[in-house]
Amino acid sequence: MSVLFSRYYSSPMHSAKGTDFLLKPVFLRGVSGSLHLVLLFVLFISWVCKKFNVGRGEGPKGRFENTRGLYHKQSTLFCCLCVSLFSLVLCLLNYFYWYRNGWSDEGLVTLLDLALRTLAWGALCLYFRTQLFNSGEPKYPFLLRVWWGFYLFMSSYCLVINIVLYRKHVNVYTQYFVSDIVSVVTGLFFSYVGFFGKNEGTEDTLLEEPLLNGDSTASNEAESIKSNGGETVTPYSNAGFFSILTFSWMGPLIAVGNKKTLDLEDVPQLDPGDSVVRSFPTFRNKLAVECGTFNRMTTLKLVKALISSVWKEILLTALLVVIYALASYVGPYLIDTFVQYLNGQQEFKTEGYILASVFFAAKLVECLSQRHWFFRVQQAGIKVRSVLIAMIYNKGLTLSCQSKQGHSIGEIINFMSVDAERIGEFGWYMHEPWMVLVQVVIALLILYKNLGLASIATLIATIIVMLANVPLGKLQEKFQDKIMESKDRRMKATSEILRNMRILKLQGWEIKFLSKIKELRKTEEGWLKKFVYTFAMSSFVFWGAPTFVSVVTFGACILMGIPLESGKILSALATFRILQEPIYNLPDTISMIAQTRVSLDRIASFLHLDDLQSDVIEKLPRGSSDTAIEIIEGNFSWELSSPNPTLKDINFKLQNGMRMAVCGTVGSGKSSLLSCILGEVPKISGTIKLCGTKAYVAQSPWIQSGKIEENILFGKEMDREKYDSILEACSLKKDLEILSFGDQTVIGERGINLSGGQKQRIQIARALYQDADIYLLDDPFSAVDAHTGSHLFKQCLLGLLSSKTVVYVTHQVEFLPAADLILVMKDGRITQAGKYSDILNAGTDFMELVGAHKKALSALDSAEAGSGSESTSMSMEDGSMASANGVVKKQENKDFQDGKADDIMGSKGQIIQEEEREKGKVSFSVYWKYITMAYGGALVPFILLAQVLFQLLQIGSNYWMAWASPVSQDTKPAVGSSMLIIVYVTLAIGSSFCILVRSTLLVTAGYRTATLLFNKMHFCIFRAPMSFFDSTPSGRILNRASMDQSRVDLNIASQVGAVAFSMIQLLGIIAVMSQVAWQVFIVFIPVIGTCIWYQQYYIPSARELARLVGVCNAPVIQHFAETISGSTTIRSFDEESRFSGTNMKLTDAYCRPKFHIAGAMEWLCFRLDILSSITFAFSLLFLISLPKGVIDPGIAGLAVTYGLNLNTLQMWVIWNICELENKIISVERIFQYTCIPSEPPLVIEENQPDYSWPSHGEVDIRDLQVRYAPQMPLVLRGLTCTFPGGMKTGIVGRTGSGKSTLIQALFRIVEPTAGQIMIDGINISLIGLHDLRSRLSIIPQDPTMFEGTVRSNLDPLEEYTDEQIWEALDKCQLVDEVRKKEGKLDSAVSENGENWSVGQRQLVCLGRVLLKKSKVLVLDEATASVDTATDNLIQQTLRQHFSNCTVIAIAHRITSVLDSDMVLLLSNGLIEECDSPTRLLENKSSSFAQLVAEYTVGSSAESLSR
């Protein structure tokens, strides 16, 4: 300080010339002060005028601010703030100097000038922040620019005067030089931006115009700008060196986020180098070089390929880590020198300032290297995660069937959402293992310099600490492995349950299946508990490690007789403190290495799985052969290990343009034959030849989420004429007319808002639009009614596909005569082959099928003939019938298809809405609910108390060592060496105990909270109404159940703890520093204020980016889940590359906000680091300027020791707060799903029906009106009828007439809007849902089986004996099939029942109702997927076992309702006809008679083959 102010100029040259005063500092500083006073005055006037003008007509403001212009203003604001802070520092230094050396006029004027500068530049900051930024003005005010010009002139004049005087050997204050140089540099910057800066604001003239004047062009352009917002590439791509260094390229996005809620279109695209589209092919090639084929994949090879794809980032970050480590140890190395300097041992004049400068420079280097290290590892992590997701996705597309059976969709989703994410995050920890070694070596060198051989004790203590970690690390790895295994099982079950929630609700099984999920979670929780307590233990070991190391080191010093001086002790403590960070992070690092290793093993083993055999099919060039399909001596098996092949001795040849039909009983191998033509079934022997492109229609429709048009085009260009003709052929025109958005209607997940027939017809349309050479159709007519079926057959098979090669599987005998070749299958063999007439009399198998069909038709004929037989009376209210014979006036549009689609969707809204996300600040209630969830928050005060005590004991022990040890050897110590170490050890043990208590309580609270949140969310999901599942893609639910739950399990509790603990530590540092010099607060308060302002400015953008990450992850998962379930269809159309491209686009959309979160975080941390470094530098300068003896050098050194950590800790606090706000979004998202409106109660105690209810089974419907949502039209529009008990009622009607809705109302899947349904005199709306659904039985339209065993599928509630189950299997014709299997009743059923045919699954559903023996049975197109013979058997079984039950059957096959006691014909949500079948057939003009006539005509072989 004395040097800075020692250069007076009192020169003899100052004689009494008139102009001499122009050279005097009093004049120069006086003019400068006056200039700043003028600025203050003008700003004040401007503020007053602004206040008076509020509310008056203001000029038009830009609706959007040009972000580049805003960024320039941000730079100006930052520069003003720096000038203000610099002036404040100079002002304080001057004050201390003049205070010590006496005041003078010059001193007062200089001080006044600096005070005015501080105020003026501070006021200018406020002006920019509050007025100029919000005004939309493109330029700075004219007066301000003029003032900047004067400021530059005055600063330059002062600098020139000082240089001239210095050259004339006149002594000039050093501080004047520093002040004037800074003023000239800033003056040049301000003059440049004021006078020569580009007019950024005028680039967007459109955006300056008001958009309220109805100018549609302007509005449209603005809209297009908005939609293209996401097309701009991130500014990082072409940012300059300075911009990259300071992360200024993030400025524009943060500025936008501060003005409005960020949406995905506001977030720029990734740099091409970071995009998965470019990085994936490189990675795949490197992996191919490593492995050759994926079957030789190992974890090591996968790691090598990953490293080679990001080796540049790894090397750069390694260099930055080394620089960071070296810079961070500069402080501890110089502490002893600094303490000796304060004690008066000064080696040269400017030593204090040199020391302060080196401290400050080291802090800057440390800050820059750490910020860029963190950013680059995140950038590399994003790239690694992307290529892994692309790799897993592509593998999912090529998996063989056996491999897929071993890994469910839920499990594979975990590879993407958890394992790939974890490997991406490993970048944070990548350098930690070797970095610890580097830091330990540097630390030992510093300790050896200070404490000599005692450093060996430090080394031994450090090794002991690290070795203590080995068993803990191994345990953590083991527990992590088990957690992931149990999580996979849980996700697999959850995924399957969500897919089949409708059937669970109909059967009343959802609570049973919820308990199954809870059981799986209980296993997971067992491992989780072990994992978190092991983590708590390792936390204790490592938080206590620095204390343990320091106790050992100081103990060794005393034993060896090495003198302990305060400077050396402080240097050692600062070294331990820095060493503490990598040692603190070691448990995390070890845990992360364990977790990453597990994840890499899992992904490598998945990539190692077998793909589909590529050599199954011999593909001939298109047009090279007349033969389209040929199979010679083919033997195929789904399970190669099975002794019994699925298909045996298959031989047939199909010429181009031929039609081949495949028929046979349930489970005979029809669908497997089509699969083997597609190359899906592993080949044992034989040859398959295929010539031409192929299209496939699956038996179970696979529909993508998205528009109907996109599903039909399936990647092809739109040809309107062709498209319209296909819609016509597939009877889709009328369906689309009814839908509010036509073919732009968004289909829900798995086509949830379409009826079975509509899904099937969209599938057929998709295949037709591909214009392939070979068409493979798997039972395409089963899901549609007879009329539509015959229309599809004529228009599609005999019309549009007349010149194509077609293979179609069918159960409807009426479609067989039109085939050029018929294959009859039984037990996996072709038993007969030939034309219809040739094989009709050649064997029994075909005769069985045709005989069953003829029998059904003869029943129809006899029904028509026996018109005189008695009809069953049916009670209906008078107004419902228009005439005595039950025929009402027909609707003009009799095949009006309101459909399930319109049932669920309103006239305005699409069913699948954009995923809900909260906007704005995360509500305090989210934090509060989270903190108080476990034990009502009782543990929180104890956790905080333990941390406060730990901090106090830590500071106390360090304070003790600094105070009790001598500053130098010649000073007498305050206490003896044994006393010194005993007190230190006692304090150390106390602090370690506090850490143990804190760690244990924290993980206990976190574990308990995670358990409660899981149970609450899952209960709410399982109790949600069906409408929730219809409108919510399962990806969103799975995302919360896997990724968000995983965060709550493992991260959030420790993150909440980290916020509290780092704040307590920061307060400790402030307390220690203010003990030494309270004046530090003069700088500390404005710096903290600025830090808080920056944090508030940054957090809106960071928060919304974090939410966007959550929202953008669901589409990736959903698209993947859809792809896996439809992989056969995708492969059959050769669309793998298009789907892979879509996955990459979705992955990039997820990575965009993730990349910019990383940039935003470093943008903030860099600025906070700089500010805290300024605070630290100021405190050093203050300590240097104090006279000797004012303060104890040891305690001053302690303050500096803590101050070294100040920037890290200040940044750590803000970073923790921001990270918590980003992560707590997972809790917020889980809370969203704990507030889903619930279905009515499962059981209502006071309204429980008798055990025997329903005893008679009479269903009485009165004026029933149903709509799917309040704003939507009625689907059932006032139905009144009675289904008499013990009788069979058939419900018929065109596709979409409201048949399924009536059934849903009966089971209360949808609640009636008006009217009521009575069963045996009890209003079903007044009893519990479980009481209702468990007393009714249903065989649903989509047959469903769950993963498990045959027994668990027939009897999930475990209510029946094995004998009863075998009896039911016998009745439903499955007993032989089950006896054949090894495990009998315990034989495995794979996910979705994939290892059973669709017909067999339908028979299992029949088995369930035979076991349940309900009085009311509903058949929802129950025999759609079985052949006529099996259908007849089922009908016979039902007649035999449900003869005195009420059976309500929806049917497409007219024959299955002819034996009903009554037929109800629905049209457009109303009853059109209702009477016995015979009575209705008597009247030839009745709609039912016309339907029967259509079916009879449609079923005659001649009419179809014509």
Write the pLDDT tens digit of every residue in 1199-1234: 777 777 776 777 778 778 877 877 888 888 888 888
Q: What is the pLDDT of residue 16?
A: 39
pLDDT above 70 for 70: no
Q: What is the mean pLDDT of residues 1463-1481?
A: 83
Candidates 1423, 1447, 1430, 1435; CA nearest to 1373 is 1430
DSSP class of 1252: T
Which two three-digit tokens encode residue 908?
């305005």
Candidates 955, 952, 977, 956; CA nearest to 966 is 977
Query: Residue 1463 forms beta bridges with which residues?
Result: 1290, 1475
Poorest-pLDDT segment among 51-65, 334-348, 727-741, 1362-1376: 51-65
Distance CA 491, CA 475 (A): 24
Distance CA 428, CA 415 (A): 20
pLDDT above 60 for 86: yes
Which two three-digit tokens encode residue 396?
């999912």
Q: Which of 193-197, 763-767, 833-837 has the highest mean pLDDT?
A: 763-767
pLDDT above 70 for 151: yes
The rounded Cα 355 to chain-centroid distance in angstroms is: 50
Which two three-digit tokens encode residue 81?
């703030």
Q: What is the pLDDT of residue 946?
A: 92
Q: What is the pLDDT of residue 329?
A: 83
Q: What is the pLDDT of residues 1381-1415, one digit of tens each?
A: 777 778 877 777 777 777 778 788 888 888 888 88
Q: What is the mean pLDDT of residues 1482-1491?
A: 78
pLDDT above 80 for 527: yes
Classify each residue of 46-73 as buried b or exposed e, where b means 16 or more C-beta atoms within 10 Å of its C-beta.
Answer: beeeeeeeeeeeeeeebebbbbbbbbbb
Helix 311-328 and helix 299-309: axis angle, to 10°? Answer: 80
Q: How many other C-beta atoms lie within 10 A of the C-beta of residue 873?
A: 12
pLDDT above 60 for 413: yes
Q: What is the pLDDT of residue 1364?
A: 84
Interior CA angle at 416 toward 411 and 420, to 5°? 125
pLDDT above 80 for 89: no
Please spell the DSSP secondary structure of 484-540, one letter per residue: HHHHHHHHHHHHHHHHTHHHHHHHT-HHHHHHHHHHHHHHHHHHHHHHHHHHHHHHH
Q: Which of 733-737, 791-795, 1174-1178 has the highest mean pLDDT?
A: 791-795
Q: What is the pLDDT of residue 1189?
A: 63
Q: What is the pLDDT of residue 349?
A: 67
Residue linked to tokens 């020198």: 337
Q: Helix, strand, or coil here: 1341?
A: coil
Poorest-pLDDT segment among 402-406, 809-813, 953-957, 1280-1284: 402-406
Q: What is the pLDDT of residue 852?
A: 65
Distance CA 222, CA 239 (A): 26
Q: How many other C-beta atoms lie within 10 A of the C-beta of residue 721?
A: 7
Q: What is the pLDDT of residue 292?
A: 65
Q: What is the pLDDT of residue 285?
A: 83
Q: How many residues does the chain have?
A: 1506
Are β-strands 683-691 and 627-636 bridged in parallel, bridged antiparallel, or unpaired? antiparallel
pLDDT above 90 for 1041: no
Helix (H) or strand (E) holding 2: none
Q: What is the mean pLDDT of residues 1351-1357?
A: 82
Q: Which residues, at least 6 apart from 1398, have a Cβ–Cβ distance to it below 8 Å?
A: 671, 699, 700, 779, 1343, 1425
Candidates 1481, 1483, 360; CA nearest to 883 is 1483
Q: What is the pLDDT of residue 294?
A: 56
pLDDT above 50 for 903: no
Distances (CA, A) of 968 to 332, 337, 562, 570, 1183: 18, 12, 13, 13, 19
The rounded Cα 959 to chain-centroid distance in angstroms is: 48
Q: Helix, strand, or coil here: 1376?
A: helix
Q: Which residues, at least 6 apart from 757, have a Cβ–Cβ distance to it below 8 Å?
A: 783, 784, 785, 788, 1295, 1296
Q: What is the mean pLDDT of residues 1437-1450?
A: 82
pLDDT above 70 for 883: no
pLDDT above 60 for 461: yes
Query: For residues 1052 and 1006, is the Cβ–Cβ distance under 8 A?
Result: yes
Q: What is the mean pLDDT of residues 5-11?
A: 37
Q: What is the mean pLDDT of residues 211-237?
A: 47
Q: Which residues, at least 6 apart from 370, have a Cβ–Cβ distance to it below 8 Å?
A: 320, 324, 1169
Distance CA 1214, CA 87 (A): 26
Residue 1251, class by beta-carbon neighbours within 10 Å (0-12 exposed, 13-18 middle, 19+ buried)? Answer: exposed
Poorest-pLDDT segment among 374-378, 452-456, 653-657, 1492-1496: 1492-1496
Query: For residues 540 and 586, is the Cβ–Cβ distance under 8 A?
Result: no
Average pLDDT, the chain: 77
Candidates 443, 467, 469, 439; CA nearest to 456 is 443
Q: What is the pLDDT of residue 1128?
A: 86
Q: What is the pLDDT of residue 753?
A: 66
Are β-strands 746-747 and 706-707 bridged in parallel, bridged antiparallel, or unpaired? antiparallel
Query: Can you give the pTM of this predicted structure?
Result: 0.66
Helix 67-101 and helix 1136-1185: axis angle, to 10°? Answer: 20
Q: Which residue has the higher pLDDT, 1149 or 1357?
A: 1149
First-to-last alpha carbon distance for the chain, in angstroms, is 110
Q: What is the pLDDT of residue 60?
A: 36
Q: What is the pLDDT of residue 1011?
A: 92
DSSP class of 775: E
Q: What is the mean pLDDT of residues 451-472?
A: 81
Q: Helix, strand, or coil here: 65?
A: coil
Residue 532, class by beta-carbon neighbours within 10 Å (0-12 exposed, 13-18 middle, 19+ buried)? Answer: buried
Distance CA 545, CA 467 (A): 12
Q: What is the pLDDT of residue 1207?
A: 67
Q: Which residue has the higher pLDDT, 1116 or 542?
A: 1116
Residue linked to tokens 């033997």: 635
Q: In the Cβ-directed half-sphere of 327, how many Cα atoms lie within 13 Å?
A: 19
pLDDT above 70 for 93: yes
Q: What is the pLDDT of residue 949?
A: 92
Poorest-pLDDT segment among 206-215, 247-256, 385-394: 206-215
Query: For residues 508 and 1329, is the Cβ–Cβ distance under 8 A?
Result: yes
Q: Which residues, at least 6 apart from 1159, have a Cβ–Cβ distance to it below 8 Å?
A: 236, 247, 249, 250, 253, 375
Distance CA 543, CA 993 (A): 10
Q: Which of 373-387, 726-740, 776-790, 1158-1172 has the highest mean pLDDT?
A: 373-387
Q: What is the pLDDT of residues 1069-1091, one digit of tens each?
A: 877 777 766 666 677 777 777 87
873 dihedral zone (left: phi>0; alpha: psi -120 to 50; beta):
beta
Map 628-689 to HEC letters: EEEEEEEEECCCCCCCCCCEEEEEEEEECCCEEEEEECCCCCHHHHHHHHHCCCCEEEEEEE
pLDDT above 50 for 871: no
Poorest-pLDDT segment among 70-79, 562-571, 1429-1438: 70-79
pLDDT above 70 for 133: no
Residue 977 — φ and ψ, nearest 5°? -65, -40
Helix (H) or strand (E) holding 1010: helix 977-1022
Candidates 517, 491, 501; CA nearest to 1027 is 501
pLDDT above 90 for 945: yes
Which two three-digit tokens encode residue 185?
């540099």
Q: Helix, strand, or coil here: 692?
A: coil
Query: Residue 1289 forms beta bridges with which residues?
Result: 1448, 1462
Percent of the chain with pLDDT over 70: 82
Classify each residue of 122-159 as buried b or exposed e, where b means 16 or more C-beta atoms within 10 Å of its C-beta.
Answer: bbbbebbbeebbeebbbbbbeebeebbeebbebbebbb
DSSP class of 233: B
Q: Which residue has the higher pLDDT, 564 or 774?
A: 774
> Cis (ω within 30 of 0) for the bond into 1254?
yes
Q: How confident is the model at residue 948 (pLDDT cuts 50, 70, 90)?
A: very high
